[in-house]
Amino acid sequence: MTDNPARTARLGQNQYGKAETRVVRITREGELHHIKDLNVSVSLSGDMEDVHYFGSNANVLPTDTTKNTVYAFAKEHGIASPEEFGLLLARHFVGTQEPIRRARIRIEEYAWERIGGPDARHSFARTGGGTRVAQVVHDGERAEVVAGLKDLTVLNTTGSEFRGYRKDRYTTLPEAYDRILATDVSARWRYAWTGAEGEGAPDWDLCYRESRRHLLEAFAQTYSLSLQQTLYRMGARVVESRPEIEEIRLSLPNKHHFLVDLEPFGLENDNEVYFAADRPYGLIEATVLRDGAEALIPADLTTL
């Protein structure tokens, strides 16, 4: 069955899979326990014309099977990092299912920290320092790994200005010489590594920790004349410090803090009391590249 029954239409890009499979893996070393908490989404594509045109499921691996594979791999292989676990899954689906030509695995990792003092062994609390994310794409020949984080809320109480901007008849915003700068950092970085034979994989956990550290330090250490400037400094510091990273895409919503007018109460507001507005908000986005690198991270990936 190969003919298209709809002669005036044809099938375009498509994929299918199981979204948001939650898996928690506990590793027990006697009384000392370790926890990995992931949200895994699998998308598969390949020879899928017949199922779309004729409803033939002969080439379709059930999405329930992809869910079961996530659980089985968590048991059989453990979870070392989101990137490594995603690569195992992607290679499995492409390598064992002939109709599947491409697998995309998206993973969020929710961090836990030990509680209960220095002897804590099996008690944990969820941390609020952002969510680690990774996307792995494998087509049977090469891999592409994009990793990063989202929902990392940061704030500078000073060291930020916004002035000298263009104005027109609709501009009412006063220039700010000392303002709060706050944002929720969403960052995705692409590794140069492609999984070619003989090419050693990066240390995924180390690169995540160091990239996160560079993002935070650049935010804290930049005297900001604009959020765009801060974004570039954050991205440039990661690319310049981590040779395994080719590009980084950042999405920074400007979480506005407005001074409250206290004059009606006979009080002076010396940059002390603010109203935190959640919307509308400015949205600043850009990609920072290593010299010679090609921009490959989709513009909308930071919103996923």
Strands (E), the chain: 21-29, 32-46, 100-109, 112-114, 124-126, 131-138, 143-156, 181-191, 245-254, 257-259, 274-276, 282-289
Q: Is position 36 annotated as part of the catalytic site?
A: no
Q: What's the DSSP call for residue 175? A: P
**pLDDT at position 108, please?**
98
Segment 56-99, tens digit of pLDDT: 999 999 999 999 999 999 999 999 999 999 999 999 999 999 99
Tell me, yes or no, if the two domains 12-141 and 152-188+202-304 fold the same way. yes
Say how far apart CA 35 and CA 102 lie, in whole Å. Answer: 30
Q: Where along the chain do its domains lie?
A: 12-141, 152-188+202-304
Q: Does residue 276 register a pLDDT over 90?
A: yes
Listed residue (154, 162, 146) closest to 252, CA to CA: 154
CB half-sphere exposure, 130, CA atoms < 13 A: 21
Three-class HEC string of 81-103: CHHHHHHHHHHHHHHHCCCEEEE
With 80 as the cut, is the pLDDT of residue 218 above it? Answer: yes
Note the CATH number of domain 152-188+202-304.
3.10.270.10
Catalytic status, residue 52? no
> How far, in Å, CA of 64 to CA of 118, rounded?
42
Please provide the average confidence, as pLDDT, over all residues in the chain.
95
**Catalytic entry in 18, 92, 138, 150:** 18
Percent of the chain clearing pLDDT 70 (strictly above): 97
**Annotated catalytic residue, options 33, 52, 63, 65:** 63
pLDDT tens digits, residue range 174-198? 999 999 999 999 999 999 999 998 8
**Structural element, H or E, at residue 54:** helix 49-54
What is the dihedral sign for C-alpha 79, 80, 82, 83?
negative
Angle between helices 204-221 and 227-241 (to 10 degrees): 140
Q: How far apart are the first and last CA of the chain?
A: 36
Instruction: Supply the pLDDT for residue 4.
Output: 59
| Per annotation, catalytic residue among 92, 214, 255, 256 | 256
150 is catalytic: no
pLDDT > 70? residue 6: no
* pLDDT tens digit sequence for 103-145: 999 999 999 999 998 889 999 999 989 999 999 999 999 999 9
Domain 12-141 has CATH 2.60.120.1030: no
